Structure 1
Amino acid sequence: MNTYSALGLMSGTSLDGLDIAAVEFTNANNNWNYRLKTTETVTYPKSLLTRLQIAVDLSAEEHQILDVDFGKFIGECIYNFKTKHQIKVNFVCSHGHTSHHKPHQGVTKQLGDAASIYKICKIPVINNFRALDVSLGGQGAPLVPIGDQFLFAEYDFCLNLGGISNISYKQRGQRIAFDIGMANMPLNYLAGKFQKEYDKDGEIAFAGKVNTDLLALLNELDYYAQNPPKSLGIEWFQSHFRPVLDAFDCSLEDKMTTVIEHNSYQIFKVISEICKTKTGHKVLITGGGIKNPAFKSSLTKHLERCTEVIIPNKELVDYKEALIFAFMGVLRYRREQNVLASVTGAKRNSSSGDLYGFNS
């Protein structure tokens, strides 16, 4: 049996902090198991958060400086985490924070310079998990389906609600996954209009009602008619989704409620279509979106019409992505495939990620 101890780090499009998960993986006869040992989320300092929020619009020089500064921040977080919890790991697996994602142009960038991370934490680093797949003609996303395949195979669907909603499932012997649409990104944008980082306890959404005209406009966005593989980034929200919200004349509360209904409907539409041919499905839902009571109520009401909804313990809800990036790092260290062409549309599967600080 082989055992690996790794740190997985994830900064999602919701920008609610840096998720850190210390995970132990064991492999026996090609069967993988994991144990979440310690987890923590580090909130971003206001100055860093502001720069991450506008990263897509920075100049090349400003972007490079942010890449290094964010790497230093990650390194400091790792150093503090390992000191506080007295842990030892083989390596760090950092997703970083996506500032640009335009795979059709061959572009994807995750902030968090590996050299800067390593210089502070003194632990070998694996990062830049998306670039190779994009160079092979893939979407570079979603990446977590490899973990769904090996670690969460008992579920028919794995649904994650971060800034963006994405889904993973097995169909005709192949793992399929793609970004369905929006999740927390527009909700946090609207919450910002109330000088709030997010809609705590769904208070804003519960005060509104669904506007059917706005709902129809959102449901008509072209992305939803595209076939997978497909993926989204902040660019699509800024260029397609946000303009519809901003131009529509109704209360902010109604906009919040309507976006939640829109998000839930798009997710239901995808899952119900697959469920037509078989009953008894189970969907595992993780990510910050499911902690919003208004979103949870709307989504479960839709999904319970076609599948059993499984919401795991809070730790897995919060840290599943960080856990899987740790797993992706383990596979990369073993030189095994960790990105699936059936998911991304790339020319082939790949073993993706750059290694820094390892002995040659």
Structure 2
Amino acid sequence: MMLTTLGLMSGTSLDGVDLAMIETDGRTVRKFGPSGYRPYTEREKSLLRQALTEAVHLPQRDARPGILREAEEAVTVAHAEAVAAFIAQNRITPEDIDIVGFHGQTVLHRPEKKMTVQIGDAAALARAIRIPVMHDFRAADVEAGGQGAPFVPVYHRALTQSLEREGPIVVVNIGGVANITYIDGADTLIACDTGPGNALLDDFMFRTMHAPFDCEGRFAAQGRVDEAWIKRSLELPFFALPPPKSLDRNDFGALRLGDVPPADGAATLTAFTAAAIARMVPLLPKVPKSWIVCGGGARNLTLIRNLRERLEPATVEASETLGWASDAIEAQAFGFLAARGLKGLPLSYPATTGVPMPMTGGVIARP
């Protein structure tokens, strides 16, 4: 049975809420619907940055002391406003949507401690929007010993099945953290985080240039890459680990470039993201023939050029060139995962998160 789902995603870049509607049975996608975006205000971003700092000390995953309670309320209100605006703009009604997939805002991801925390009150959201909400997608995986990330691979597989091209194909999602999905036919699905996506670069741009990000990679294009720094940084144990593996947004926050011109810093951090992705090639079963880049990083032309240089002779293309809505893919994925969760289908697998067996997940909050 086909369902109309609305996926909501607020990623590690802390920029805002992405929304996307699809028609799906949890296995294939029959139709892409409209997508939307609701940016976080400066106050909301500031709250979330404070929440990231405070979350490190959380005693248990459902605790919301101090600023975390305030941040959770802000996230919930932002998502409710985003859904209300989306419904109005697209002239639909709550009854047109069967289920909402609500990821929430990750403030802590420590799978080795069986802790993954996404803030956002799903019950309050369901009441506000008058639609059933599926949430807490990662908890069951982490509780069973999985990494709890990445969770988009099953959706990447559904998208690539329609391409009819020879594999292996890798889909790279570059948000705050970068992750890959390795697809080789219908049976082989491997996934993991690869290292920093936009997080280190965005934080550096914010610190040095008071800019939220490096638009199209123009600033990095003016700088010189410190390859020696990249080589040293890639010696961190994480990069040699085979998949599955996952990261918290701030896991590489301790890396310091030293006193460098800002353009050189941006160039080096951009190249570091590409080098960390390329570092995966020897850890995969076969050398991929093509790489498809989605997420915010797909708009960074300097990053795409870096990837082409480090991954040749494989092809590297932005997902937009295939007709995929790059900015909407993660939101679409959580609508897809909500449909799978409703039907009890697996959301994660041993080769995507390291969970012992294929796991379904998600919890429903009803209006």
Q: Which residue in the other structure is 1:133 paired with?
A: 141
Note the aligned Cα RMSD (angstroms): 2.1
2:176 corresponds, among 156, 163, 167, to: 163
| Structure ranking higher in helix proportion | 1
In the superposition, the TM-score normalised over structure 2's length comes to 0.88
- The superposition leaves residues 62-101 of structure 1 with CA deviations (integer Å, 9 ceiling, x where unpaired) of 2123223311221121112112211221111011111000
Unaligned runs of at least 5 residues, structure 1: none
Identity %: 27
Q: Which residue in the other structure is 2:273 paired with?
A: 263
- Give the counterpart letter for 2:313 in structure 1: C
Query: Secondary structure of the equivalent of 1:54?
Result: helix
CA contact (8 A) 2:304 2:316 kept: no
Q: Which residue in the other structure is 1:14 paired with?
A: 13
Q: Which residue in the other structure is 1:23 paired with?
A: 22
1:214 corresponds, among 207, 229, 248, to: 229
* 1:68 partnered with 2:73: yes
Q: Which residue in the other structure is 1:185 paired with?
A: 199
CA contact (8 A) 1:100 1:235 kept: no
1:55 corresponds, among 51, 57, 71, to: 51
- Give the counterpart letter for 2:15 in structure 1: D
Aligned ranges for residues 289-328 of structure 1 at < 5 Å? 289-303=297-311, 305-313=312-320, 316-328=325-337
Q: Distance in 2 between matches of 1:96 and 1:312?
A: 24
Unaligned runs of at least 5 residues, structure 2: 56-64
Q: Which residue in the other structure is 1:43 paired with?
A: 39
Query: Secondary structure of the equivalent of 1:250?
Result: coil
How far did residue 191 of structure 1 move?
Answer: 1.0
CA contact (8 A) 1:148 1:168 kept: yes
- The superposition leaves residues 213-249 of structure 1 with CA deviations (integer Å, 9 ceiling, x where unpaired) of 32233222221122222101123133x43xx23xx23
Q: Which residue in the other structure is 1:145 paired with?
A: 153
CA contact (8 A) 1:34 1:151 kept: no
Residues matched between the structures, number:
346
Stretch deviating more after TM superposition (46-55 or 31-40): 31-40
Stretch deviating more after TM superposition (165-174 or 193-202): 165-174
CA contact (8 A) 2:126 2:365 kept: yes
Q: Distance in 2 between matches of 1:217 and 1:24?
A: 46
Question: CA 1:170 to 1:294, structure 2 compared with 1: closer, same or farther past 3 Å?
Answer: closer
Q: Distance in 2 between matches of 1:152 and 1:321?
A: 15
How far did residue 337 of structure 1 move?
Answer: 1.6
- Give the counterpart letter for 1:262 in structure 2: F
Query: Secondary structure of the equivalent of 1:150?
Result: helix
In the superposition, the TM-score normalised over structure 1's length comes to 0.90
Question: CA 1:35 to 1:264, structure 2 compared with 1: closer, same or farther past 3 Å?
Answer: same
- Give the counterpart letter for 1:306 in structure 2: P
Query: Secondary structure of the equivalent of 1:75?
Result: helix
